[in-house]
Amino acid sequence: MPSVDYRSLAGDILQGVGGEKNIASVMHCATRLRLKLRDEAKADTAAIEKLPGVITVMKAGGQYQVVIGNNVPTVYAELGKITKLTGDDAGATDEPVQHGNLFNRFIDLISSIFSPVIWPLAAAGLLKAFLSMATQFGWLDPASQTNVILAATADAIFYFLPVFLAVTAAKRFKTNQFTSMAIAGALVYPSIVALSAQAEPVSFFGIPVVMMNYTSSVLPIIVAVWLQGYAERFLTRVLPSAIRNFTTPLLTLLVMVPFVLLTVGPITTLAANGLSTGINAAFTFAPWLAGAIMGGFWQVFVLFGLHWGLVPGMLGEIASQGYSLLLGPLLAAVLSQAGATLAVMVRTRNKARRAVAGPAALSGFLAGITEPAIYGVNLPLKKPFYFGIAGGVIGGAIAAAGGSGATAFVFPSLLGLPAFSTVGNFSLQLLGTGTAIVIAFLLTFFFGPREEAAAASDAGTSVPEAAAEAQAAAVPVPASAATGTAAAGAEAPGTASTTGTGTSTGTVEILAPVAGQAVALADVQDKVFASGAMGKGLGIIPADGRIYSPISGSIKAAMKTGHAFGIKSEDGVEVLVHIGIDTVQLQGRGFESAVTRGQQVRAGDLLAVVDLDVVTEAGYDTTTLVMVTNTAQLGGVDAVAAGTLAQGDTAITVKV
């Protein structure tokens, strides 16, 4: 639609839906604007459908969807120029609807908030590992000023972790990030930390406050920023504009900091004390059971801040009897997660993931610093985290059965082993720890998620590796000039086939991007695609989660969520590969993209890997659409109507 004025179109759509105030949130997928309207009755659907550039309007899943086609990113960008509805400072008041079980949604939330700080965490963890090694072997005096400076450099991000998470959580929940940082700063303020350490009761206007140490904590600040969003939106609605700018953060701070201290602290402390009592009791009648709990779930306790209830017990044991049995199983707990991370590093084909996993595993093994491993690798991938727990359960049980403990409060790590060597049966401690590492490593290596597994290419380099290198270096993967037409399915799945440059007969073959059952376009459960408004094509109910390029050409669109890709061949054929129906709602959960916008691909190159179980469990249709979006400009488009397709079979024939 070269004649469409997209700035005017964005303005007309805005006016048609009742203005900016009637829009709660807006996002876009590969073909449509997805709006949540406060009152759909205010939208003039008939007028919007008549606008030049609008294909149709549909209402589904609580969204008001304006179908535009391939140019939807342009309209979205123009909408951002005339409103505050898009980008980091968007005024969205509601998060997109999320599906799936609660625990997976929680993990995805934590992972997304940690994602921007993973690299600094990994760097700091590695530095802590080297510093620990340097002091352990006498290369650096622990009391020296040099060590103090270097230790502060390595420890700061962990100590002030709530402040860092306040920034990323603010972007996630659409709040004022500086107010979020101020809340986090109050939680780790030196005098607040001191209050948590004193024995005297603490009160706020006479209300008792149960204090806890919020340094290095995760959940309190995330909960605080989530609630901050509601407070800010309420205050923005009710406060006069003349005083809104300064009274909103003022009132938010006055409410949120005391609220967190009065609620999160007591709830966490109560749960932690109950946990501590139960585990200490277990050590008296079934040490192996207590060891299994500590070894398997210590990292979970840390995630929820419950470990602070166990730390005083550990310190008390060391002070009274010279060692702590509670510390004994923690070697297995920590090093099993490091073992799972190491397996991810060895197994994954994802260059970015491997780059995080390497130093994260090293800092976990050497220094017992697991934040980079947990939040950057294991927790986002889920299975490695679970396998780390499994290894910790068995290893912790073995260590505790031998009466293992620690004579000092050290980070459980290889460099901290001497502290565990004189209490109980040290051989069983080593056996338990080694067993934990081996179990976590092997389970992850053999049963963990496969990220961008190798696929042979003509040049002998795996396509996913080339794609990952292209992403890292921002250099497109060279595409061979494929000429001629090969027999359908002649190559093995994942390799280049016919494609995209046309043939002497003036036809281009578009291949099936995934093996599965072909579905006629009219039978697809999305009325826009089924109507043919986006062009001709077909659906494929996928048999597996590896999606390949159906044609050679350039990636013109690659959704950040990994669910849709637009490819244009040298012949001018424009193909949309859309994985699942309405899967943009998953916000990338379960999807791993292997290509980027502007990259050159060959037919059979990997586009993405999708976890079909995640999509299905979330309640979405996995049908993958293959559409020729510029059908009207071509001589003819004929798609396979039904039947079983192998990846690489001819799915659509196009006359150019």
Q: Which residues are catalytic?
A: 29, 578
Convert 530-565 to b/e letters by CB count within 10 Å (16 or more is b). beeebbbbbbbbbeebbbbbbbbbbbebbbebbbbb
Give the closest residue to 612 by CA, choosing from 582, 584, 579, 636: 579
Here the tokens at position 27 are 């996002």
Q: End-to-end distance of the chain based on CA atoms, in angstroms?
A: 19
The single residue listed with the structure tokens 């031998």 is 402
Q: Is 610 left (phi over 0), alpha (psi -120 to 50) or beta?
A: beta
Residue 512 DSSP code: P
Rounded to whole angstroms, the Cα distance separating 584 from 566 reads 15
Rounded to whole angstroms, the Cα distance separating 466 from 464 reads 5
H or E element at residue 185: helix 177-187
Q: Which residues contact 36 (CB under 8 A, 6 or more apart)?
A: 23, 24, 25, 26, 62, 63, 64, 94
Residue 624 dihedral angles phi and psi, to the nearest 5°: -100, 125
Task: Please tell me the number of Cα atoms within 13 Å of 481 on its side-chain side.
Answer: 0
Rounded to whole angstroms, the Cα distance separating 291 from 305 reads 19
How many other C-beta atoms are found inside a 10 Å radius of the C-beta of residue 472? 11
Q: Is 86 left (phi over 0), alpha (psi -120 to 50) or beta?
A: beta
Answer for the pair 496, 552: CB distance below 8 angstroms, yes or no. Answer: yes
Rounded to whole angstroms, the Cα distance separating 433 from 419 reads 14
Q: What is the 3-state secondary structure (H, E, C) of 261-319?
A: HHHHHHHHHHHHHHHHHHHHHHHHHCHHHHHHHHHHHHHHHHHHCHHHHCHHHHHHHHH
H or E element at residue 203: strand 202-204
H helices of 37-176, in order, are 45-49, 72-82, 102-114, 118-136, 145-159, 161-173
Give the closest residue to 48 by CA, choosing from 33, 38, 61: 33
Packed helices 219-238 and 177-187: angle between N→C axes, nearest 10 degrees: 130
Cα dihedral across residues 158, 162, 166, 169: positive or negative: positive
Give the closest residue to 332 by CA, choosing from 375, 376, 293: 293
Rounded to whole angstroms, the Cα distance separating 52 from 364 reads 57
Here the tokens at position 194 are 């001191």
What three-state secondary structure class fits 27? strand
Q: CB pairs under 8 A, 24+ apart, for 47-53?
A: 47/16, 48/12, 48/13, 48/16, 48/17, 51/9, 51/12, 51/13, 51/16, 52/1, 52/3, 52/4, 52/9, 53/1, 53/4, 53/6, 53/9
Which residue type, as a one-letter code, is found at position 571?
D
